[in-house]
């Protein structure tokens, strides 16, 4: 009984540590005001290592299939838009200046795009050509994906999974159940990478993405049209939408944040015109 109580003390200590040392926000609040505190007990390096391995494998796979950056004009267009957004990412995170950003186009019918931890981006032709995206719409999708990386949503999901597993493990040893702890981090990484982002995280990505595109001089009102286009594809919902159960709420939320980013867009446009 005494050891059970001391184990409980240890649990309490670990939880306190996790919340004081690990709870912070990865980004500055910006005009859209995203400032939710995050549980981050897995290191950035850990999350980035996982992303880098995954990204290298994906690039290799599609390159071998002749499906990587097939159309140089399209690659150039998408990379130019990405560059504009990346320049604005420092508003939320000055350290992104040192990120090793990458943008690659994958020839695939899939309607998909992502930005993995540390700035490793992919955008699929099923999205670009299939939905005939305009520059503004490409900026909206990429801004959203970049925002996930700035907020380190994957690292956060890994941390949440790890916290749960550590909790379970300590509980099971307190109850004298013999369970190995060697694979805790591995399990957490697996869970963090495979679970879809929560609605809250999607909303944050929408808001920050909106500000990134506005600051880069892309009309943020077109963020609405791209999600509408995706919703109208029919059949099974595209992956980008499937994690978000209520598209109408999403559009309402985007529209509610337009007033705070439209002045940034007007300002960016004026500056472009002056050059
Ligand atoms: Zn998302």
Question: What confidence tens digit (pLDDT) does each residue in 28-82 have?
Answer: 888 898 888 888 888 888 888 888 999 999 999 999 999 999 999 999 999 999 9
Q: Which residue has the tokens 């520059």?
A: 135
Q: What is the pLDDT of residues 82-109, one digit of tens each?
A: 999 999 999 999 999 999 999 999 999 9
The catalytic residue among 137, 145, 156, 202 is 145
Classify residue 183: in a domain, yes or no.
Answer: no
Rg (CA), the chain: 21
Q: Ion ligand 1 — residues with CB under 5 Å?
A: 202, 205
Short-list 272, 153, 163, CA closest to 203: 153
Domain that holds residue 44: 38-153+195-274
145 lies in some domain: yes
| Within a domain: 158 | no
How many whole angstroms from 141 Cα to the centroid of ligand 1? 9
What is the CA(241)–ligand 1 centre distance, in A? 8
**Ligand 1 midpoint to CA 197 (Å):** 7
Assigned domain for 16 exists: no
Q: Is residue 54 part of a domain?
A: yes
The structure's pTM equals: 0.84
Q: Categorize the per-residue pLDDT at 200 as very low, low, confident or very high, splitting at 50, 70 and 90.
A: confident
Total domains in the chain come to 1
Q: How far is the CA of 245 from the centre of ligand 1 (A)?
A: 12
Gap from CA of 207 to ligand 1 centroid (Å):
11
The listed range with the strongest mean pLDDT (126-135, 181-190, 239-248) is: 126-135
- 42 in Cβ contact with 159 (< 8 Å): yes
47 in a domain, yes or no? yes
- Judged on CB neighbours under 10 Å (0-12, 13-18, 19+), 26 is buried
Q: How far is CA 36 from the centre of its chain?
A: 15
pLDDT mean across residues, the chain: 84
Residue 76 lies in a domain: yes
- Active-site residue flag, 137: no
12 in a structural domain: no
Query: Is the pLDDT reported for residue 214 higher than 70?
Result: yes
């Amino acid at each position: 009984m005494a050891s059970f109580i001391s184990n409980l003390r240890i649990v309490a200590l670990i939880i306190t540590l996790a919340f004081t040392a690990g709870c912070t926000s990865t980004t500055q609040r910006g005009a859209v005001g995203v400032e939710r505190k995050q549980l981050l007990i897995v290191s950035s390096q850990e999350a980035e290592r996982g992303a880098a391995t995954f990204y290298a494998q994906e690039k290799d796979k599609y390159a071998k299939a002749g499906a990587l950056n097939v159309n140089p004009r399209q690659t150039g267009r998408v990379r130019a838009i990405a560059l504009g957004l990346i320049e604005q990412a420092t508003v939320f995170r000055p350290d992104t200046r040192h990120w090793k950003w990458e943008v690659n186009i994958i020839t695939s019918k899939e309607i998909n795009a992502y930005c993995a931890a540390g700035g490793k981006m992919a955008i699929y032709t099923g999205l670009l050509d299939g939905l005939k995206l305009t520059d503004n719409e490409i900026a909206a999708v990429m801004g959203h994906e970049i925002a996930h990386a700035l907020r380190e949503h994957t690292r956060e999901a890994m941390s949440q999974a790890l916290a749960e597993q550590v909790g379970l493990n300590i509980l099971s040893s307190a109850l004298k159940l013999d369970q190995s702890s060697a694979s805790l981090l591995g399990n957490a990484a697996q869970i963090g990478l495979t679970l879809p982002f929560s609605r809250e995280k999607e909303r944050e990505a929408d808001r920050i993405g909106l500000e990134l595109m506005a600051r880069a001089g892309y009309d943020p009102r077109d963020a609405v049209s791209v999600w509408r286009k995706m919703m109208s594809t029919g059949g099974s919902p595209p992956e980008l939408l499937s994690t978000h159960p209520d598209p109408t709420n999403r559009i309402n939320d985007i529209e509610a944040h337009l007033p705070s980013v439209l002045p940034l867009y007007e300002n960016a446009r004026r500056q472009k015109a002056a050059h």
